[in-house]
């Protein structure tokens, strides 16, 4: 032991300097370090798992319904089985999922009352036209997610390009571009959307265009602010001195440095687009019947809220879970990409 201590005390200076310069933890890239911090955020991690399950169900969920065969779509109407409450096999003794409904102050087995054949179950009930709510909710979730993601991608492309050009060029160009933004943002979003829906035919594409027309403004302003802070940094000035073109500087040097802010804003814009689509469908300006989305399902359920509350309950729960999950993931990404939060 004494010999070991003596060896350590009388090591050459070069060896001691090498020991002092050793890195205390392994070298990680920015993305690796960010992923480690995301995993430490339990709320963001659970939300990521929940959102993954919802996306899988949105793609395949309608095919799990026991009432949709190969020749039936989610819009198939089985009118003799209209307005059936939820009934799940194995849960017949539990309220809300036993096929019973309170009618005139009495607990009634609606399935027996309507002579529904044995073995027929509507897991989340049926609507007033006899359509399976379970299948329609997941089909509607898929439509809402498609609209939100495509609108967010348009927001990403237009907003990032506009903000980077405005911030990097500066001067009179920046002033003109910002005045255009102020004019567009002064017009309420709902007015723009209503005018667009009057011009375009109702449908998914018209909703996407209407949402994307104004949603990119926030992204453009955020990216412009980040570019204004970075364009006077040494690495940008060095690139200009070496003769690199402006598009190459924007794509190679500035875009990676603002990618964290861009990802966070996209994650926040997706739930906003989902809610806006649901709001438009709820007030009757969204998708035409019989296309299902979370907004149209909530609108249909609202009309029979006092009689068939399950019709508005389940799509509302799915909508709330999606919005909460996206917001928690965005919070986790914001903390992960912020250098000040690094341990």
Note the pLDDT tens digit of each residue in 306-324.
Answer: 888 889 999 999 999 999 9
The verdict on 58 and 77 lying in the same domain is no
Looking at the domain assignment, is residue 268 inside a domain?
A: yes
**Which domain does 145 fall in, by range?**
42-64+135-305+317-337
131, 161, 186 — which closes off a domain? 131
The verdict on 52 and 198 lying in the same domain is yes
The verdict on 186 and 209 lying in the same domain is yes
The verdict on 151 and 72 lying in the same domain is no
User: Can you give the pLDDT at residue 5?
Assistant: 47
The verdict on 256 and 241 lying in the same domain is yes
The verdict on 167 and 237 lying in the same domain is yes
Radius of gyration of the chain (CA): 28
* Beta carbons of 54 and 321 less than 8 angstroms apart: yes
* Beta carbons of 225 and 186 less than 8 angstroms apart: no
User: Can you give the pLDDT at residue 232?
Assistant: 84
User: Can you give the pLDDT at residue 291?
Assistant: 84
Looking at the domain assignment, is residue 343 inside a domain?
A: no
Count of beta carbons in the 10 Å neighbourhood of residue 157: 13
User: Can you give the pLDDT at residue 6?
Assistant: 47
Residues 151, 154, 158: CA angle, nearest 5 degrees: 145
131, 162, 179 — which closes off a domain? 131
Looking at the domain assignment, is residue 48 inside a domain?
A: yes
User: Can you give the pLDDT at residue 241?
Assistant: 85
Looking at the domain assignment, is residue 15 inside a domain?
A: no
The verdict on 143 and 259 lying in the same domain is yes
Looking at the domain assignment, is residue 33 inside a domain?
A: no
The verdict on 177 and 321 lying in the same domain is yes
The verdict on 70 and 58 lying in the same domain is no
Give the chain's domain count. Answer: 2
Looking at the domain assignment, is residue 52 inside a domain?
A: yes
Q: How far apart are CA 15 and CA 33, in angstroms?
A: 30
Q: What is the CATH number of the domain that holds 50?
A: 1.10.3720.10
Looking at the domain assignment, is residue 60 inside a domain?
A: yes
User: Can you give the pLDDT at residue 51?
Assistant: 92
Return the HEC string of the chain: CHHHHHHHHCCCHHHHHHHHCCCCCCCCCHHHHHHHHHHHCHHHHHHHHHHHHHHHHHHHHHHHCCCCCCCCCCCCCCHHHCCCCCECCCCCCCCCCECEEEECCEEEEHHHHCCCCCCCCCCCCECCCCCEHHHHHHHHHHHHHHHHHHHHHHHHHHHHHHHHHHHHHCHHHHHHHHHHHHHHHHCCHHHHHHHHHHHCCCCHHHHHHHHHHHHHHHHHHHHHHHHHHHCCCHHHHHHHHCCCCHHHHHHHHHHHHHHHHHHHHHHHHHHHHHHHHHHHHHCCCCCCCCCCCHHHHHHHHHHCCCCCCHHHHHHHHHHHHHHHHHHHHHHHHHHHHCHHHCC
Contacts of 189 (CB under 8 A, 6+ apart): 214, 276
Looking at the domain assignment, is residue 37 inside a domain?
A: no
The verdict on 162 and 258 lying in the same domain is yes
The verdict on 299 and 329 lying in the same domain is yes
Q: How far apart are CA 50 and CA 335, in angstroms?
A: 20
Report residues of the chain scoring pLDDT below 50: 4-8, 10, 13-16, 21, 343
Contacts of 107 (CB under 8 A, 6+ apart): 100, 101
The verdict on 115 and 149 lying in the same domain is no
131, 148, 164 — which closes off a domain? 131
């Amino acid at each position: 032991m004494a010999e070991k201590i003596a060896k350590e005390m009388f090591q050459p200076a070069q060896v001691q300097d090498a020991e002092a310069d050793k890195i205390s933890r392994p070298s990680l890239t920015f993305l690796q370090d960010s992923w480690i911090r995301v995993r430490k955020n339990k709320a963001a991690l659970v939300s990521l798992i929940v959102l993954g399950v919802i996306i899988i169900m949105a793609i395949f969920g309608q095919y799990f319904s026991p009432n949709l065969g190969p020749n039936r779509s989610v819009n198939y109407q089985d009118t003799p089985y209209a307005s059936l409450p939820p009934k799940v096999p194995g849960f017949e003794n539990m309220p809300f999922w036993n096929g019973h409904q309170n009618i005139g102050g009495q607990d009634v087995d609606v399935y027996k009352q309507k002579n529904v054949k044995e073995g027929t179950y509507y897991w989340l009930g049926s609507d007033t036209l006899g359509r399976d709510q379970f299948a329609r909710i997941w089909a509607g979730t898929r439509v809402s997610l498609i609209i939100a993601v495509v609108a967010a991608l348009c927001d990403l492309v237009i907003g990032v390009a506009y903000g980077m050009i405005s911030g990097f060029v500066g001067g009179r160009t920046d002033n003109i571009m910002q005045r255009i933004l102020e004019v567009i943002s002064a017009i309420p979003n709902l007015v723009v959307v209503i005018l667009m829906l009057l011009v375009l035919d109702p449908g998914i594409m018209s909703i996407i265009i209407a949402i994307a027309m104004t949603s990119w403004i926030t992204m453009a302003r955020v990216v412009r602010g980040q570019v204004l802070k970075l364009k006077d940094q040494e690495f940008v000035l060095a690139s200009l001195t070496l003769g690199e073109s402006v598009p190459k500087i924007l794509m190679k040097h500035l875009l990676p440095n603002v990618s964290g802010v861009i990802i966070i804003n996209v994650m926040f814009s997706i739930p906003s687009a989902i809610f806006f689509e649901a709001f438009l469908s709820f007030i009757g300006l969204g998708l035409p019947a019989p296309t299902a989305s979370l907004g149209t399902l909530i609108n249909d359920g609202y009309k029979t809220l006092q009689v068939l509350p399950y019709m508005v309950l389940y799509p509302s729960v799915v909508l709330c879970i999606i919005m909460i999950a996206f917001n928690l993931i965005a919070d986790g990404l914001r903390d992960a990409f912020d250098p000040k939060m690094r341990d």
